[in-house]
Amino acid sequence: MWELLIIIVPSAIAYTMPLLMGALGGLYSERSGVTNLCIEGLMLFGCFASAATIVKLQAIPGFSFNLAIVIGIVVAMLASTLLAALHAIASINLKADQTISGTAINMLSSALSLFLAQTITGSGNITVVRAVIRSDVPILSKIPVIGPLFFSETYWTTWICIAVWVISYFLLYKTSFGLRLRACGEHPSAVASAGVNVHKMRYIGVLTSGFLSGLGGACILVTYAGEYNAGSGINGLGFLAIAALIFGQWKPLGILGSTAFFGLCMTIANIGRILPAFSGIPMAVLGAFPYIATLIALVFSSKKSAAPLASGQPF
């Protein structure tokens, strides 16, 4: 059992972090009152942008590998933020149907990233020569039981994502900014009467969703994926992030728990086929396990939905 945990837990953490960033991005947007169904497209575009940037930089003789990774992640966040701006303009300024706008962004992201990838490589796939290397956390990795599970062989991007989650929790629940943002998603008319610019707050929420989703897409690339694949994209992880947002009841703590659950499901689906403990389960069942678990989780969580009251309603 211990050997099984040593394999599963670090991998589950790696799968959890991109989901956590995507779900957090959706949280900012929907708490501001804008329904965001384009997390999939934003994460996909972030994955593509980081892959293209890293490959181009690594082709420069003598260019630092670590610096290329960092620049690639930053470019991913900025590129997804620009794409999210289209959703913000359509939803806030033009008062378009937010569900249709999100769907359109997903389609645009898929088509645009495929076209650009084919232009760059000819095949549509962009493979990063090297990605982030796992390493132990000094001192903490030596703690009995906890150390080998959570602090041994981790990615440094994991700690960035955890820091973002902590900052987000503080911003949303311990600051006046967070209070205004959440109020815009509940009673925008009351907030506007108090002198708060609702459109500005919603723009911040949507652009932040793009920023964090881009980080999630880049984390997929530089940790376990290692390439942008035009055929498979990000395998629906953006939609799983939306499901985690709903399952987590639009709250940071709930999102952390739900993304950890879905990350574990993704781990079982991806590495379960090589583990003796899961050898008797057909591969098709293992592959479908995360999505089956998502449906079951949403069935139980939908009865007590805590969605923002004004989410999806133009102002």
Q: What is the pLDDT of residue 105?
A: 96
pLDDT tens string, the chain, 315 residues long: the values are 666 777 788 888 999 999 999 999 999 999 999 999 999 999 999 999 999 999 999 888 888 888 999 999 999 999 999 999 999 999 999 999 999 999 999 999 999 999 999 988 877 788 886 677 778 777 777 888 788 778 887 889 999 999 999 999 999 999 999 999 999 999 999 999 988 999 999 999 999 999 999 999 999 999 988 889 877 788 889 999 999 999 899 999 999 999 999 998 888 887 766 666 666 677 777 778 788 888 887 777 766 777 888 888 888
DSSP character string of 166-210: HHHHHHHHHSHHHHHHHHHHH-HHHHHHTT--HHHHHHHHHHHHH
> CA-CA distance, 269 to 261, in Å (whole number)?
13
Predicted local distance difference test score (pLDDT) of residue 219? 94
- Which residues touch 119 (CB under 8 Å, ≥6 apart)? none
pLDDT confidence of residue 279: 67
Which pLDDT does position 90 carry in this prediction? 95
Contacts 24+ apart (CB under 8 A), 279-283: none
Cα-based torsion angle of the residue sequence 69, 73, 79, 85 in order, rounded to the nearest 10 degrees: -170
Please list, residue by residue across 193-202, b when 16 or more beta carbons sit within 10 angstroms of its beta carbon and e when fewer do. Answer: eeebebbebb
Are 252 and 24 within 8 A, CB to CB?
yes
Does the reported pTM lie above 0.85? yes
d(CA 209, CA 29): 6
Pairing between strand 125-127 and 227-229?
antiparallel
Q: How far does CA 74 lie from the centroid of its chain?
A: 15
CA–CA gap between residue 55 and residue 42 (Å, rounded): 20
The CA-atom distances, in angstroms, between 208 and each of 43, 80, 288, 305, 313 are 13, 10, 31, 23, 19
Residue-level pLDDT at 251: 92
